[in-house]
């Protein structure tokens, strides 16, 4: 089980990653996260939509109404240039974080 | 699927209805429905699917704070006072509502019984079984006086229980909230009550419906018998109405707490309209009844006003609610 405290800072990164290859909508993103992580991380609905709200406020993503498929009008999201820049910086931050924390990880305890 | 929608409605209940909120709610619903659909396709049962969707919903406060909203309402919309009711408080409310329901039922019984006595006495005077040698005005007013002897305590009961239930006005107006467990416990109880009430309602309606039969049967034995049968009919109606009121108040208390059916927030306006009309129509009916009686001596026939107005009023409130349903 992943502690949500630890992963909180990287929810945005996951969402942006999934938007890099094309626009997507809420459930597709949450399903992709579950599949990619082999079901080890399931992003809660409220976490996902909080992230959308936050990212849009910062101009990292934009949203638009998609065509109605199966009678449902979905909100689609696409990543902006600012979002790509932000994503790159988050990746660098993660590499650094991983390196730093790794210095304190011992498996022979 | 309905459960998911209700769950989301409950979560968003305390929020102002802004375009931003509506959009997030719509998106959340679409996403939850997608998940539900997929779980069902994977072979999950209804309960499993709904359970998973709700358990993976998360914490609504997280979303609210991101949206810059607090569940107490935003600044431009003054916070509607919402009282969190504990289980004990809801128990107290239900208990009081039942008690006052019994009082109202008793009051109605008194009035119908009073009307029955009125007609009975009038009948006795008319055929001169009673009151020989009594001056005419006494003969005329005695029955009416006896009616008032029943009417006065009944009105007292109505006013008293109205004042007592006034303390719970905020529940009628939906300005309260319930904890999750309280809601669940009450929801279970409401279902049990509904089952138990069915028999009350069936018998209550049955008594009211068959009561006129007494009139027809008695009519075959002549006018005098028909006159007395009105008295019997009123008592049968009283019994039926008693059952209906008892069942009604029991169920109403739960419906109000759980904001089910016509007590849901969206129906508040319609209930106000019906309430306003009721507060005009019924006193007018009572006034018409009294005028017809005192001025034209129509005590024996004017009571028909009550059932007729009752049916018309029932039709009106049904139409009101149907119109409201259509608007949604």
Residues of A in contact with B67 (CB under 8 A): 53
Q: Return the residue of B nearest to A70 by Cα.
A: B34
Q: Considering chain B, what percentage of its residues have pLDDT values greater than 70?
A: 82
- Pick the last residue of a domain from B260, B281, B310: B260
Residue B39: closest CA among B159, B47, A44: B47
Q: Summarize pLDDT for B44-92 with one digit per residue, the tens.
A: 888 888 888 988 888 888 888 888 776 544 433 334 456 788 888 888 8
Provide the domain limits for residue B34. Answer: 1-67
Domains identified in chain A, total number? 1
**pLDDT at A60 > cutoff 90:** yes
Q: What is the CATH number of the domain that holds A60?
A: 1.10.10.10
Question: For chain A, how are helix, strand and coil distributed in percent, rounded to 5?
Answer: 60, 15, 30
Q: Which residues of B touch A53 (CB under 8 A)?
A: 24, 63, 66-67
User: Which pLDDT score, from 0 to 100, does residue B73 have?
Assistant: 42
Please report residues of B whose CB lies closer than 8 A to that of A42: 56
Most confident of A60-69, A85-94, B2-11: A85-94
Which has the minimum average pLDDT: A24-33, B96-105, B242-251, B283-292? B283-292
Per-residue pLDDT band at A69 (split at 50, 70, 90): low
- Give the mean pLDDT of chain B: 78
Average pLDDT (B272-284) is: 68
Residue B72 lies in a domain: no
Give me the mean pLDDT over the A10-28 stretch.
92
Q: Which domain holds residue A12?
A: 4-102
| Closest partner CB to A26 (pick from B27, B38, B59) | B27
Which is nearest to B80 in space by CA: B70, B88, B90, B89? B70
Residue B326 has pLDDT above 70, yes or no: no
In a domain, B73, yes or no: no
In a domain, B309, yes or no: yes
Determine whether the interchain pair B34/A53 forms a contact, defined as Cβ–Cβ distance below 8 Å.
Answer: no
Name every chain B residue with its beta carbon within 8 A of the beta carbon of A44.
56-59
Q: How many CB atoms lie within 10 A of CB A86?
A: 20
Q: Is residue A109 part of a domain?
A: no
Residue B74 in any domain: the answer is no
Sequence-distant (6+) residues with CB within 8 A of B313 are B277, B278, B281, B282
Do residue B89 and residue B203 come from a single domain? yes
Query: Chain A to chain B, count of Cβ pairs less than 8 Å apart?
Result: 56
Is 90 exceeded by the pLDDT of residue A13? Answer: yes
B36 within some domain = yes
B217 with B131, same domain? yes
pTM: 0.47
Number of domains composing chain B = 3
B76 in any annotated domain = no
Q: Are residues B183 and B306 in the same domain?
A: no
Task: List the single best residue of B36, B63, B69, B71 to mutate versus A (max A Cβ within 10 A).
Answer: B63
CB proximity under 8 Å: A 70-109 to B:
72-75
Residue A108 inside a domain? The answer is no
The pair of three-digit structure tokens given for residue B49, joined into one six-digit string: 């699917």
Distance set, CA B13 to CA A41, B6, B25, B176 (Å):
29, 10, 11, 11
Is B308 within a domain?
yes
- The answer to whether A67 touches A23, Cβ cutoff 8 Å, is no
Q: B58: which 2 tokens? A: 């998360």
With both helix axes pointing from N to C terminus, report the angle between B268-296 and B305-327 in degrees, rounded to the nearest 10.
160
Q: Which residues of A touch B41 (CB under 8 A)?
A: none
Max mean pLDDT among B73-87, B95-109, B209-223 falls in B95-109
Token look-up 């009350």 returns B200
Q: Where are the beta strands (DSSP E) in A38-101?
A: 61-65, 75-79
Could you read off the pLDDT of A29-59 as tens digits, one per residue?
999 999 999 988 889 898 999 999 999 999 9
Nearest residue in A to B33, CA atom = A27
**Helix segments in chain B, DSSP class H:** 2-12, 19-41, 46-55, 60-66, 87-126, 136-166, 169-172, 180-219, 223-258, 268-296, 299-302, 305-327
Does some domain include residue A67?
yes
Whether residues B94 and B203 share a domain: the answer is yes
The first and second tokens of residue A59, run together, are: 């101009």
């Amino acid at each position: 089980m992943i502690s949500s405290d630890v992963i909180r800072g990287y929810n945005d990164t996951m969402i942006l990653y999934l938007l890099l290859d094309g626009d997507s909508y809420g459930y597709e993103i949450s399903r992709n996260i579950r599949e990619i992580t082999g079901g080890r991380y399931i992003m809660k609905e409220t976490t996902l939509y909080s992230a959308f709200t936050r990212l849009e406020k910062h101009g990292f993503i934009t949203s638009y109404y998609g065509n109605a498929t199966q009678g449902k009008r979905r909100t689609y999201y696409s990543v902006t240039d600012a979002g790509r820049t932000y994503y790159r910086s988050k990746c660098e931050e993660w590499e650094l974080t991983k390196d730093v924390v790794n210095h304190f990880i011992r498996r022979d305890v | 699927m309905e459960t998911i929608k209700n769950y989301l409605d409950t979560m968003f209940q305390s929020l102002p209805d802004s375009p931003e909120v509506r959009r997030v709610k719509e998106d959340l619903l679409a996403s939850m429905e997608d998940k539900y659909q997929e779980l069902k396709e994977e072979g999950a049962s209804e309960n499993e699917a709904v359970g998973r969707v709700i358990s993976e919903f998360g914490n609504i406060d997280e979303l609210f704070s991101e949206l810059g909203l607090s569940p107490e309402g935003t600044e431009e919309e003054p916070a509607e006072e919402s009282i969190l009711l504990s289980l004990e408080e809801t128990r107290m409310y239900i208990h009081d509502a039942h008690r006052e329901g019994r009082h109202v039922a008793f009051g109605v019984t008194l009035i119908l019984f009073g009307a029955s006595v009125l007609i009975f006495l009038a009948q006795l005077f008319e055929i001169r079984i009673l009151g020989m040698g009594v001056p005419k005005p006494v003969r005329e007013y005695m029955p009416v006086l006896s009616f008032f002897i029943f009417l006065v305590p009944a009105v007292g009961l109505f006013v008293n229980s109205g004042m007592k239930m006034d303390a719970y006005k905020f529940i009628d107006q939906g300005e309260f909230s319930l904890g999750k467990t309280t809601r669940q416990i009450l929801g279970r109880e409401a279902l049990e009550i509904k089952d138990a009430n069915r028999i009350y309602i069936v018998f209550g309606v049955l008594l009211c419906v068959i009561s006129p039969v007494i009139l027809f049967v008695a009519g075959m034995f002549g006018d005098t018998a028909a006159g007395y049968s009105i008295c019997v009919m009123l008592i049968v109606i009283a019994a039926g109405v008693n059952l209906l009121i008892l069942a009604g108040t029991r169920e109403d208390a739960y419906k109000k707490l759980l904001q089910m059916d016509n007590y849901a927030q969206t129906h508040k306006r319609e209930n106000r309209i019906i309430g306003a009309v009721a507060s005009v129509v019924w006193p007018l009916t009572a006034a018409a009844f009294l005028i017809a009686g005192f001025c034209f001596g129509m005590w024996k026939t004017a009571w028909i006003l009550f059932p007729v107005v009752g049916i018309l009023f029932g039709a009106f409130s049904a139409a009101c609610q149907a119109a409201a349903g259509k608007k949604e």
